[in-house]
Amino acid sequence: MRYAIVIAALLAPSPLLAQDLEDAPAVRDRSGPGFELSTGLDFEQGDYGTGSDIEKLSIPVTVRASTGRVHASAQLPWVRVTAPENVIPPTGPLGLPILVDPSRPAGVTTREGLGDLRLGLAYDLSGRGVIASVRSGVKLPTASTSEGLGTGETDYSVGADLAKQIGPVTPFVGVTYTMPGDPEGFELRNSVSGHAGASLRLGGATTAHVGYGYAESSLDTVEDEQRVFGGVNTAVGGGVSLGLYGSGGLSESAPDLGAGVTLGLSFGR
C-alpha cells in the first residue's frame, strides 16, 4: 500500500538539514525494504538578529533506508558560510540559535568544510485514516569548531508527526523536543519546535505544500524563530524525484529568506 507521510522538519538536529522544513511530503511504500540516496543545494540569507549579513550554503548528501514501518537516515553536508568570524551559524532548521562567540574576531570571513553528521530513526504508527510517526535523532559534532562551522557538541531530539489525507489535500502537523549540548561559554536550554501546513496533490506524482514553523530559542538573548515555507515535489520517473522549496522569516532570529533544490534516487520499491 502506498501512502503519503509528512517528514517536514523531522529533527532539530535533524537527518535532513533546513530543507526538511520546506521539502515536500515524501511518499513511502510499506510493501518492502527500500533505499534512497539524495542530495541538493540549500541557501539561507539574513542577519538572524545580529545586525550583520550572514549567508549559508549547504550541499547535503543523505542516505535513507526503510523496511516495513522503520526508517533510518544519515546525512553529512558540505557547508560554506560568509559571516563575521565570531558568528557560529545555526546547526539545525529550528530550535538551535545562531551563536556569537565574543572570544573570536568580528571581521567578516568565508569558511567552508564538512558540517555535522546527523542520524535519524523513525517508526510509522498505524491508524484509521491517519498517518503518524514518532522519531528520534542525534547530531554528531563532525563540523570544525576552529572554522566556526559547528558547536563541537552532540545534540539529541525526539518528535512526532501527524497527517490525514482528505481527497487531494493532506494537512500535517509535527512537534520536536531538542536537547542541545552546551558549547564552551554557553548554556543552552532544551526547546520545543513545531510546524503545521498542508500539501496538495496537483496531479500525477506532483505535490505542492505550504506551512508555518515555530521554535523556542535555546538562549534567553535570542528571539524565538518563526518562518513560513512552501515548495513543489515531483517524481520524474525511474525512481528519480525533484523538489524545489523556499521560506521567509517572520522573526529577527530567522533567516530573511531561504531556497533550495533536492534530487533523490530511490531503489527497491
Q: Domains in the chain, start-ordered, CATH in brackets? A: 2-267 (2.40.160.40)
Dist CA 193 CA 94 (whole Å): 7
- Whether 204 contacts 213, CB under 8 Å: no
Tell me the C-alpha distance between 162 and 131, whole Å: 6
List, for residues 70-117, the tens digit of each pLDDT value: 999 999 999 999 988 878 776 654 445 567 777 777 788 999 999 999
CA-based torsion, 101, 103, 105, 109: positive or negative: negative
Burial class of residue 200 (count of CB atoms within 10 Å of its CB; 0-12, 13-18, 19+): middle
Q: Residue 166 carries which DSSP code?
A: B
pLDDT of residue 96: 56
Amino acid (one-letter) located at 127: G
Q: Which of 26, 197, 19 is nearest to 94 (CA)?
A: 19
> Are 114 and 17 contacting, i.e. CB atoms less than 8 angstroms apart?
no
Each residue of 6-58: pLDDT tens digit?
222 222 333 333 445 444 444 444 555 799 999 999 999 998 888 889 999 99
3-state secondary structure of 149: coil
What pLDDT does residue 169 have?
A: 96
Given a cut of 90, is residue 167 above it in pLDDT?
yes
Q: Please name the helix (run of DSSP H) or strand (run of DSSP E) that holds residue 231, with its range, or none.
A: strand 225-237
The residue with cell 515524501 is 26
Task: Give yes or no for a contact between 262 and 234, defined as CB atoms under 8 angstroms apart.
Answer: no
Strand partners, 177: 158, 192
